[in-house]
Amino acid sequence: MVEREAKLDRVFHALSDGTRRKMLRRLAGGEHSVGELAAGFEMSFAAGAKHVKVLENAGLVRRRIMGRVHLCRLEARQLKKADEWLRFYERFWSDSLDRLEMLLEQDAAADARSKGEK
């Protein structure tokens, strides 16, 4: 259980950075080299490689080496686990918002009745 939570922590940490989220979005379109991922940002190759390492440690990216080129591809399994965790709260907010909508409708109906009585 602790290891599963640690993995989820690493996923959310990796997703907390906009650059890494954009890198994942690119990888959703197919395999890219580390250099290609870094090239779209104002950063050095080394900085891009550090971002890729964070994504790799979170289990979001798999890297394979072909000669001197490191190719990355998206690993969606950990994203699915994060999505499952978030869906619990989606249900919570959906239920809460449904209750709020019902209360607002009741309040509006009560206002309409009180204005009709005057």
Domain borders along the chain are: 2-78
What is the pLDDT, as a whole number, of residue 2?
62
Burial class (CB in 10 A: 0-12, 13-18, 19+), 109: exposed
How does pLDDT run across 36-90, given as a tens digit for each residue?
A: 999 878 899 999 999 999 999 999 999 999 999 999 999 989 999 899 888 888 7
Rounded to whole angstroms, how far apart are CA atoms 56 and 83?
18
The whole-chain average pLDDT of the chain stands at 88
- The whole-number pLDDT of residue 28 equals 95
Gyration radius from the chain CA atoms: 23
| pLDDT over threshold 60, residue 1 | no
Q: Which CATH number fits domain 2-78: 3.10.20.30, 3.40.30.10, 1.10.10.10, 1.20.58.740?
A: 1.10.10.10
**What is the reported pTM?**
0.73
